[in-house]
Structure 1
Amino acid sequence: MMLGKSRLGLRALAAVAASSLLLAGCSSAATSTSPAASEAASSAPAANLTMTFLPKNLGNAYFDTSYKGVQAAAGVLGATVNQVGPAKGDDPAGQVSYINTATQQQVGALLVSANDKSAICDSLKEAMTAGVKVVTFDSDTEADCRDLFINQATADGIAKVQVDMIADQIGDSGEIAILSASANATNQNAWIEMMKADLAANHPNIKLVDTVYGNDDDQTSFDKTSALLQSHPNLKGIISPTTVGIAAAARYLSKSDSKGKVALTGLGTPNQMREYVKDGTVTEFALWNPQDLGTLATYAAAALIKGEITGAEGDKFTAGDLGEFTVGADKTVLLGQPYKFNKDNIDQFDF
């Protein structure tokens, strides 16, 4: 009897042991799949938020301000941005070399202000083929050479505000000239053509007598201003749709006999133009906020990288505190309309 009970006990113990092993095996199998599942979940590729910021040229106050917006947005997004660029603003070949380098480095996106509408296209297309998102800002390329263009405002709006200002300042009559950036600058050329059309249609008593190019170089623009005044003694006004040009022209006029006699307007930054507004050299000029332009370009690039948008018309994305934006025709995103600066409001701005 005792033996029987012992055998039954042994059988019971064996059953318990087998059950324990089975349970242990189930438990072991369950826990062994958990790390694998976790690893699989974490193995999804992270967005490549490395970007190259390529302005027309380095050392340009306008693009320095844009880069501040880029850096601020990058900080929020967790992106890494490297600024590169040629020394001069009329060097598309110099931009090509930086585009090729960025492509080789496999950055997530290029932020480019084009020195030429077509000359950098082949390199940009190679970058896009390699998976790099291309966002142009300020100055565009051909539409098939980029994923998005971040435009300051509508081209006709930018042109019109400058014509309206010079017309107001010279009494809607007299000779004017244009001091532009480089002859190949996409945005400058588009604005100039629209200015000409506006003048012809709406200002018959204003005569555009010359268009010259300072190549976004301070000294060249300064010298071109001097030459304009010598070549056109009856000149009543100058439009300079470039921040480098308008500042150089203002510097020349402020020390010349033409101060207060020849009106100057165009596109400039408040910090560059403040002293010339206050000393009476310049009455009014316009611009958008270039820092916001850099911010918007960076958020747009991140949205493309993450697949939140493709660049199709109607796509929407949010650019931090700037709010929501919608992609328009030709893969273009509009920042807003230009703002006029004068002695009554210029001290409210710091860029």
Structure 2
Amino acid sequence: MKKYWTLVLSLVLVFSILSACSQGSPGGNASNGADGDSTSKNDGPKKYAFIFKNTGNPYGEKMMEGFEEAINEIGGEAILRAPDQPTAEGQIQIIEQLITQQVDSIVISGNDPDALQPALTKAMDAGIEVISVDSAVNTDSRVTHVNQADPEAIGRIQIEAVSEMIGGKGQIAVLSATSQATNQNLWIEYMQKELEKPEYKDIELVKVAYGDDLRDKSVSETEALLKTYPDLKAIIAPTTVGIAAAGKVLTDKGLGGKIALTGLGLPSEMASYIESGVSPWMYLWNPIDVGYSSGFTAAALVEGDMEGKAGDTFEAGRLGEKAVVEDGDGTQVMLGEPFKFDKENIGEWKDVY
């Protein structure tokens, strides 16, 4: 009998110890509480990721700067990433890594509208809020899109500008980024629609070239345009890398005033070309504000302040209230009209960005 009670007491003691260990274990029922697993997605500051097209792009660096500013203001953790080359494959690798890191949101400037869909859909299925910015991905790959300006206005204004520069007559070419860049393609589409108007009947778009947002390739493509089309009157480069590269080529060849240059450029990179007359004027928006706005868009989704549906509004820090509007079969947040930079104001802006 004594052995029997000794065995019973031993078993009770063992079960008591096991029960206590189970209740205090990091993998037990208490893991979702205050003393739970510190790696949980819901613990600590929210993680906001930004993926740009490629490294070494001044425009992208400014967007990242604005994004990080916004995330710092809301007390989150900003994760800034970009592949070495502007490819969808490079961005897909980064997306997979961010899913593993359990980030709360991904903001991406897409290198391809459709190729990123499987990876971005996987991210959304994992509970990650996905927003595209600057260069959109398709609507099945995102919750909403942050647009730097009205695409129609961007295309139209550049044709109006080049027509004025060449007196409404002559051959023109476009130096774009990559052939898959959705923002570039949409702007070029609106340029082509604008050129269909009667007032542009004497302007001929001879070529759309692609410099892939790489400086050396953009230089080569500009040189090829000059060689292939000796009667070329103007180049439109709706990419900050392309317009700066074209500005250098035209300057080095002494073609300022002979072949006009306009498009979208950073004031800091284009100031000398505008001041010299190589580019009479060009346009852009503030890429810092574009990144900043995308940060607050992501935060509003993560915090549940809006759902990314048309009609939603949210506060975007120093930019004030922003509204979500329709975008085809999706939605977008639009910043405003492109801004004109010329000899009169470039001095004010070249030290800003």
State the TM-score bracket (shorter-chain normalisation).
0.7 to 0.9
Amino acid across the alignment from 2:62? T
Amino acid across the alignment from 2:83? P
Residue 238 (structure 1) aligns with = 235
Residue 343 (structure 1) aligns with = 343
Structure 1 distance, partners of 2:144, 2:156, is 24
Structure 2 distance, partners of 1:205, 1:49, is 55
Matched, 1:181 2:177: yes
Structure 2 distance, partners of 1:278, 1:258, is 15
Residue 31 (structure 1) aligns with = none
The equivalences for 1:307-326 within 5 A come to 307-326=304-323
Q: Name the SS of the counterpart of 1:75 in structure 2.
A: helix
Matched, 1:97 2:93: yes
TM-score (norm 2): 0.85
Residue 4 (structure 1) aligns with = none
Q: Name the SS of the counterpart of 1:106 in structure 2.
A: coil
Matched, 1:254 2:243: no
The partner residue of 2:275 within 267, 275, 278 is 278
The partner residue of 1:116 within 109, 112, 115 is 112
> Could you list the runs of 5+ residues in structure 1 that have no partner in the other structure?
1-39
Residue 23 (structure 1) aligns with = none
Matched, 1:299 2:321: no
Report if aligned partners of 1:178, 1:240 keep a CA contact under 8 Å in 2. yes
The answer to which of 251-260 and 238-247 deviates more is 251-260
Structure 2 distance, partners of 1:303, 1:74, is 11
Alpha-carbon RMSD: 1.7
Structure 1 distance, partners of 2:97, 2:241, is 28
The equivalences for 1:49-68 within 5 A come to 49-68=46-65
Q: Structure 1 residues 47 and 296, CA, compared in 2 at 3 Å: closer, same or farther?
A: farther
Report if aligned partners of 2:48, 2:71 keep a CA contact under 8 Å in 1. no
Give the aligned length: 311
Larger radius of gyration: 1
Report if aligned partners of 2:255, 2:278 keep a CA contact under 8 Å in 1. no
Report if aligned partners of 2:70, 2:296 keep a CA contact under 8 Å in 1. yes
Residue 6 (structure 1) aligns with = none
Residue 225 (structure 1) aligns with = 222
The partner residue of 1:153 within 146, 149, 155 is 149
Amino acid across the alignment from 1:334? M
Measured against aligned partners, the alpha-carbon deviations of 1:219-274 in whole angstroms (never above 9, x if no partner) come to: 11011111101100110000001000000000110111322100000000100101
Report if aligned partners of 1:153, 1:336 keep a CA contact under 8 Å in 2. yes
The partner residue of 2:66 within 64, 69, 83 is 69
User: How far is 1:47 from its partner?
Assistant: 8.1
Q: Structure 1 residues 311 and 42, CA, compared in 2 at 3 Å: closer, same or farther?
A: farther
> Could you list the runs of 5+ residues in structure 2 that have no partner in the other structure?
1-32, 37-41
Report if aligned partners of 1:48, 1:305 keep a CA contact under 8 Å in 2. no
User: How far is 1:71 from its partner?
Assistant: 1.5
Matched, 1:269 2:257: no
Identity of aligned residues (%): 39
Report if aligned partners of 1:240, 1:266 keep a CA contact under 8 Å in 2. yes
Report if aligned partners of 1:47, 1:305 keep a CA contact under 8 Å in 2. no
Structure 1 distance, partners of 2:255, 2:346, is 23
Residue 18 (structure 1) aligns with = none
The equivalences for 1:29-48 within 5 A come to none
The partner residue of 2:168 within 165, 172, 185 is 172
User: How far is 1:46 from its partner?
Assistant: 6.1
TM-score (norm 1): 0.86
Report if aligned partners of 1:47, 1:306 keep a CA contact under 8 Å in 2. no
User: How far is 1:48 from its partner?
Assistant: 5.6
Report if aligned partners of 1:52, 1:107 keep a CA contact under 8 Å in 2. yes
Structure 2 distance, partners of 1:121, 1:158, is 26
Report if aligned partners of 2:166, 2:260 keep a CA contact under 8 Å in 1. yes
